[in-house]
Amino acid sequence: MHAPSLRPVPTPTTFTTAGPLSGRVRVPGDKSISHRALMLSALAVGRSTIDGLLEGEDVHATAGALRAMGATIVRSDDGRWTVDGVGIGGLLQPSIALDMGNSGTSTRLLMGLVASHPITATFVGDASLSKRPMGRVIDPLSAMGADITASPGGRLPLMVRGLNPAVPLDYTLPVASAQVKSAVLLAGLNTPGITRVIEPVPTRDHSERMLAGFGATVDVQTDADGTRTIAIHGPADLKPQHIDVPGDPSSAAFLVVAALIVPGSEVRIENVGINPTRAGLFGVLHAMGADLTFHDQREVGGEPVADLVVRASTLHGIEVPTETAPSMIDEYPVLFVAAALAKGRTVLRGLEELRVKESDRIAVMAAGLRAIGAVVEELPDGLVIDGRDGAPFPGLPAGANPVQTHLDHRIAMSFAVAGLAATGPVVIDDTSPIATSFPTFPTLLATLGARSDPAP
C-alpha cells in the first residue's frame, strides 16, 4: 500500500531547574473537541465557524483529510476557522491517501465517517501510529458493512471501503475508548436506523455533546450501575454552528504538575475544560494534597470550564482508583512524575490501555523515570512508585543517553516537567512530537520561567 508518513528532524533538548514558576497563561484548544468540531462542521450543510481550535499537527491531519473529502476549511488571520460542510452523505472519494501523522483520534474517527459513505479511503501514519491497534474500530465498522483491508495485526496502512447504506449496530465497547465509541456513532450518522453504543465505563462525552449541539438526535441513558447507552438516529441532518473550543485539560495538566513540583511556584491557567469525563487528574492531585483551585466556573461551547490556580505543594502518595482511569487516561505520564517526587508510595493500576498509545507509556515512563533517579516498579497494568519525599530528581548521570520519547508528545512533555525539578540535567531525545498536541508548550513554559536548552 502506501509508505508511512515522515516526522520532522529530531530536536534533542535539556530541561533544568530555574526557580519558581509564576504567571498567567492560556493553553491551546482541546484536542478531542477540535477534531470533533472540524468533523461535524464538515458534515453540516453550510458554513460553521470555530474559535480556539487547536492548531497542532494532529488536528491539521484531520483538517487535511476532510479537505481531501470535499470540505472547505480555511483559517483567517484572526485565528477563526471557517468550514463549509458537504452534508451527511456528501463526503467525496479522496484522490490521495489520508495522512494521519501521529494521530489515533483522527484515524479512528475518520474511519467511522468513511465506513458509511460510498467511498474508499486509504489511511497512513507515522512510525508510532503504524504500530497502534485498529482492530478495535475495524470490528464494529465491519459489522456495519464496511470492507476494511489492514496491514498485519490490524494496523496502518489500511483501506476502508464504505458501505452505503450501512447497517445499524448495537455495540458494547470491549475497551473503555471514546475513539471507538465515536467511530461507531459517526458511522451511525449516515446509517438509516438507530446505532447504539453501550459503554460499561464512561469515557469522554464530547462526541455526544457536540452531535446534539449540531442538531442530531442523540439519546443517552445511564443505568443504575453507571452503564451508558448512546443512541444516534440516522441519517442525521446537521446544522452549521459556531464553536468556541475550551482550553485542553490534558495540556494544562503539564503546567499544573510543573507548578506543583517546583518550590515557590504559583500559576494561573485560564479557560481550561473541566468536563467530568476529562477532569480525573485534578481530583487525584487534590487527594495527593495539591493546592489547586477552580475559579470563575462557566460554560464555553457546551463544555464546563474554569480558571485554575495552582501553587507548589507537598504531595503524598495514594492508591489511584482504577475506575477514574478513562477520565485521565492521557494524564498518567505526568502524574507518574508528580508521584515520583511525592512522599510515600503511589500505586497506579488498571492502565493496560497506556501500552497502546503513541508509545507503551508504562514501559517508557518507567525507563525514563529510573534513568533520572526515580524508584519505579513496573506491573503488567501500571506502576508502583516510591516517591522522593520532595527531594528533586538527580537527573541523568554524566554520559547517559537522553530519555527516549518514542515519538510520544506526552512522554516528551512529562520529562520536560521532570527536568524542572531535577538538580542535574534531563535531556530528551526529541521534543518535536510536542507539536502534535501542544505546539506552544515550550513558549508557555519559558513564559512561566522555566529553562530549556538545545542539547548536542
Q: Is 351 in the site for ligand S3P (CB under 6 A)?
A: no
DSSP summary character for residue 343: B
- If one asks whether residue 327 binds ligand S3P (CB under 6 A), the answer comes out as no
130 sits near ligand PEP (criterion: CB under 6 A): no
**Pairing of β 120-124 and β 98-99:** parallel
Here's the x/- map for ligand PEP, 390-429, by CB under 6 A: it reads as: --------------------x-------------------
Neighbouring residues of 284: CB distance < 8 A, sequence distance ≥ 6 = 318, 320, 324, 328, 335
Task: Tell the smallest beta-carbon distance from residue 123 to ligand S3P (Å).
Answer: 16
| Residue 291 binding ligand S3P, by CB under 6 A | no
DSSP 440: T
Question: x/- binding map, residues 53-92, to ligand PEP, per CB under 6 A?
Answer: -----x----------------------------------
- How does DSSP classify residue 295? E
Sign of CA dihedral 251, 257, 263, 264: positive
Q: Is position 23 annotated in a ligand binding site?
A: no
Of the candidates 179, 195, 275, 436, which one interacts with ligand S3P according to CB under 6 A?
179
Among 99, 208, 303, 330, indicate the residue that binds ligand S3P (CB under 6 A): 330
Nearer to ligand PEP, 202 or 249 (CB): 249
Would you mind telling me the total number of residues written for the chain in this entry?
A: 456
Please state, in angstroms and rounded to a whole number, the distance separating the CA atoms of residues 280 and 122: 35
Q: How far is CA 192 from the centre of its chain?
A: 31
Task: Enumerate residues 194-233 that contact ligand S3P by CB under 6 A.
Answer: 204
DSSP state of 377: E
Q: How far apart are CA 286 and CA 310, in angstroms?
A: 11
Does position 357 interact with ligand PEP (CB under 6 A)? The reply is yes
Cis amide prior to 165 (ω within 30 degrees): yes
Interacting residue with ligand S3P among 14, 105, 106, 431 (CB under 6 A) = 105
* Distance, CA of 282 to CA of 253 (rounded, Å): 8
Tell me how far, at minimum, the Cβ of 278 lies from ligand PEP, in Å: 12
Q: How far apart are CA 100 and CA 105, in angstroms?
A: 9
Give the interface segment with ligand S3P, choosing from 20-28, 175-183, 210-218, 412-420 (CB under 6 A).
175-183
At 343, list the grid cell. 512522599
177 is in an annotated binding site: yes
Whether residue 106 contacts residue 131, with contact meaning beta carbons closer than 8 Å, is answered with no
* Dihedral class, residue 344 (left if φ above 0, else alpha if ψ from -120 to 50, else beta): left
Residue pointed to by grid coordinates 509508505: 3
Contact present, 85 and 238 (Cβ < 8 Å):
yes
CB 78 within 8 A of CB 47: no
Q: Is 358 an interacting residue with respect to ligand PEP (CB under 6 A)? A: yes
Strand 451-454 and strand 13-16: the pairing is: antiparallel
Residue (105 or 414) nearer to ligand S3P, CB = 105
Q: Is 104 in the site for ligand PEP (CB under 6 A)?
A: yes
83, 156, 253, 329: residue in contact with ligand S3P (rule CB under 6 A): 329
3-state SS, residue 203:
coil
User: Binds 99, which of ligand S3P, ligand PEP, none (CB < 5 to 8 A, cut-off by type)?
Assistant: none
Given ligand PEP, ligand S3P, none, residue 353, with its beta carbon under 5 to 8 Å by kind, binds ligand S3P
Q: Are 273 and 249 in contact (CB under 8 A)?
A: yes
132 is in an annotated binding site: yes
Among the residue ranges 74-82, 100-108, 310-318, 416-424, the one whose residues contact ligand PEP (CB under 6 A): 100-108
Asked if 107 interacts with ligand S3P (CB under 6 A), we say no
Map grid coordinates 490534558 to a residue: 250
C-alpha–C-alpha distance, residues 364 and 233, integer Å: 42
- Choice among 205, 330, 408, 430 that is catalytic: 330
Count residues binding ligand S3P (CB under 6 A).
10
Task: Pick one of 14, 102, 130, 177: the residue that binds ligand S3P (CB under 6 A).
Answer: 177
Q: Is residue 102 a contact point for ligand S3P (CB under 6 A)? A: no
Q: Is position 78 annotated as part of the catalytic site?
A: no
Cα 9 versus chain centre, distance = 23
Question: Which does residue 182 bind out of ligand S3P, ligand PEP, none, counting CB within 5 to 8 angstroms by kind?
Answer: ligand S3P
Q: Which residues bind ligand S3P (CB under 6 A)?
A: 32, 105, 177-179, 182, 204, 329-330, 353
Residue ranges for the known binding site for 3-phosphoshikimate are 31-32, 36, 177, 179, 330, 357
Residue ranges for the known binding site for phosphoenolpyruvate are 31, 104, 132, 179, 361, 410
Q: What are the catalytic residues? A: 330
